[in-house]
């Protein structure tokens, strides 16, 4: 038998290699255990959501989330966990599309190139869930807040133009406005439903959006579901910050008065949940809480509910599976994570 005898110089090197391999092995085991634990946290929520969506079996079902404010500095960024849960739901339910209602990023202290890269990280996560993913411009997404003195004080050149932002957000199957690029609609012919997505200049709706609604988007025999980042009224917004919402309401009212059906107006921005009704509106507005992990807060909006969130359980996440049932004229909001299921009629 030939014995391999290491020199004195080789022995320390062998120990270093073994120590390095041991560290890599331990790190792999820890990562596996953390991933397994993270997945198990959502098991009950996944099973419950799958059961609800399959029981309702609506003709059109959309996964909807908003205000994730993706930020690499955020230690509790929910994007990875939400992505894995959505992948599981899409594999086990018939969900027709995924919609992000805006504020993909925080948009603070970063250049145009950095903002674009962060937006793309969110979109890449959506692409891993489904080819049928769509995004709406939120007030943080064009990076304008980086020009504010309190959050960057960078030059105006860092701000993405509407066309530039749309080039990042746009997806196949959308019919975009020629007046404002981030306004678009998507038709679902089998269900005779048009999903209309409208944007704002920060929190101000522009006449161009209202004109496009009147002349193009609402020229349809389909029922319409309206999705937006912002609500239409100051009292339903964040600290009364909504401007020109009456332009949007006027276009939708004219459509309804002409015999059209507005299924609902669903939006984000407020970081809370609320059903919004008014005697002069023939539809219900629905505010959806934020996907970003945060403790309950209040912006003073009467009737708004802010959900309790905990890092160690399913309430770390918050999004809805929206099931539209035209036969019963109902919209079911199946909440995943923090909050309760809701249903509205139209």
Residue 329 backbone class (left: φ over 0; alpha: ψ -120 to 50; beta: rest): left
Give domain status of residue 335, yes or no: yes
Buried b (16+ CB within 10 A) or exposed e, 7-25: eeeeeeeeeeeeeeeeeee
* Most distant CA pair in the chain, distance: 97
Question: CA 168, CA 135: separation in Å to the nearest integer?
Answer: 10
Give domain status of residue 9, yes or no: no
CA atoms within 13 A on the CB side of 127: 10
The average pLDDT across 163-189 equals 95
Please state, rounded to an integer, the average pLDDT across all residues of the chain: 91
Pairing of β 318-325 and β 330-337? antiparallel
CATH of residue 197's domain is: 3.60.21.10
The average pLDDT across 196-221 equals 98
pLDDT-based confidence at residue 7 (cuts at 50, 70, 90): low
Q: Is the pLDDT of residue 234 over 70?
A: yes
In the chain, the number of structural domains is 1
* Beta strand residue intervals within the chain, DSSP E: 60-65, 97-100, 133-135, 175-176, 184-188, 193-198, 223-228, 262-267, 274-276, 285-287, 318-325, 330-337, 342-345
Give domain status of residue 75, yes or no: yes
Residue 276 tokens, joined: 């919004």
The average pLDDT across 192-213 equals 98
Structural domain of 319: 42-345
Contacts of 323 (CB under 8 A, 6+ apart): 53, 56, 58, 60, 61, 331, 332, 333, 334
Are 289 and 101 in contact, with CB atoms under 8 Å apart?
no
* 3-class DSSP assignment, residue 308: coil
In sequence order, the β-bridge partners of residue 114 are none
Give domain status of residue 118, yes or no: yes
pLDDT tens column, 85-133: 999 999 999 999 999 999 999 999 999 999 999 999 999 999 999 999 9
Give domain status of residue 7, yes or no: no
The fraction of the chain above a pLDDT of 70, given in percent, is 89
Give domain status of residue 34, yes or no: no
Q: Is the pLDDT of residue 230 over 60?
A: yes
pLDDT-based confidence at residue 302 (cuts at 50, 70, 90): confident
Number of H helices, E strands in the chain: 7, 13
pLDDT tens column, 132-147: 999 999 999 999 999 9
If one counts every other C-beta atom within 10 angstroms of the C-beta of residue 33, the result is 10
The average pLDDT across 161-170 equals 96
Residue 335 tokens, joined: 């909440």
Give domain status of residue 11, yes or no: no
Are 223 and 184 in contact, with CB atoms under 8 Å apart?
no
Residue 8 tokens, joined: 């004195």
CA dihedral sign, ordered 227, 90, 171, 163: positive
pLDDT tens column, 20-44: 555 555 544 444 444 444 457 999 9
Residue 65 tokens, joined: 């989330």
Are 248 and 213 in contact, with CB atoms under 8 Å apart?
yes
pLDDT tens column, 253-290: 999 999 999 999 999 999 999 999 999 999 999 999 99
Question: CA 103, CA 231: separation in Å to the nearest integer?
Answer: 14
The average pLDDT across 336-341 equals 98
Closest CA to 188 of 171, 209, 174: 174
The pLDDT value recorded for residue 198 is 98
Q: Is the pLDDT of residue 19 over 70?
A: no
The pLDDT value recorded for residue 10 is 58
Buried b (16+ CB within 10 A) or exposed e, 136-174: bbbbbbbbbbbbeeeebebeeebbbebebbbebbebeeb
The average pLDDT across 309-328 equals 96
- What is the pTM for the complete model shown? 0.88
Give domain status of residue 176, yes or no: yes
């Amino acid at each position: 038998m030939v014995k391999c005898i290491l020199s004195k110089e080789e022995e320390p090197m062998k120990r270093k290699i073994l120590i390095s391999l041991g560290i890599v092995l331990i790190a792999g085991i820890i990562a596996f255990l953390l991933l397994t634990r993270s997945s198990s946290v959502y098991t009950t929520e996944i099973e419950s959501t799958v059961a609800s969506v399959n029981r309702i079996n609506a003709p059109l079902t959309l996964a909807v989330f908003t205000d994730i404010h993706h930020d690499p500095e955020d230690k509790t960024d929910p994007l990875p966990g939400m992505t894995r849960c959505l992948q599981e739901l899409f594999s086990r339910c018939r969900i027709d599309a995924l919609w992000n209602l805006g504020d993909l990023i925080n948009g603070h202290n970063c250049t145009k190139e950095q903002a674009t890269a962060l937006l793309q990280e969110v979109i890449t996560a959506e692409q891993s869930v489904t080819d049928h993913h769509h995004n709406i411009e939120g007030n943080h997404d064009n990076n304008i807040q980086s020009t504010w003195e309190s959050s960057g004080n960078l030059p105006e050149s860092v701000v993405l133009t509407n066309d530039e932002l749309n080039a990042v957000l746009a997806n196949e199957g959308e019919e975009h406005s020629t007046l404002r690029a981030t306004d678009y609609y998507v038709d679902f012919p089998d269900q005779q439903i048009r999903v209309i997505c409208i944007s704002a200049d920060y929190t101000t709706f522009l006449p161009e959006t209202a004109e496009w609604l009147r002349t193009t988007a609402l020229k349809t025999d389909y029922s319409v579901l309206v999705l937006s980042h912002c609500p239409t009224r100051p009292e339903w917004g964040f600290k009364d910050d909504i401007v020109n919402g009456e332009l949007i309401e006027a276009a939708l009212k004219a459509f309804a008065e002409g015999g059209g059906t507005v299924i609902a107006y669903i939006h984000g921005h407020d970081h809370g949940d609320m059903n919004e009704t008014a005697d002069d509106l023939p539809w219900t507005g629905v505010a959806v809480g934020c996907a970003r992990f945060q403790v309950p807060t209040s912006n003073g909006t009467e009737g708004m509910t802010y959900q309790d969130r905990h890092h160690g359980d399913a309430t770390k996440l918050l999004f809805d599976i929206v099931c539209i049932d035209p036969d019963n004229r109902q919209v079911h909001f199946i909440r995943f994570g923090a909050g309760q299921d809701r249903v509205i009629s139209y």
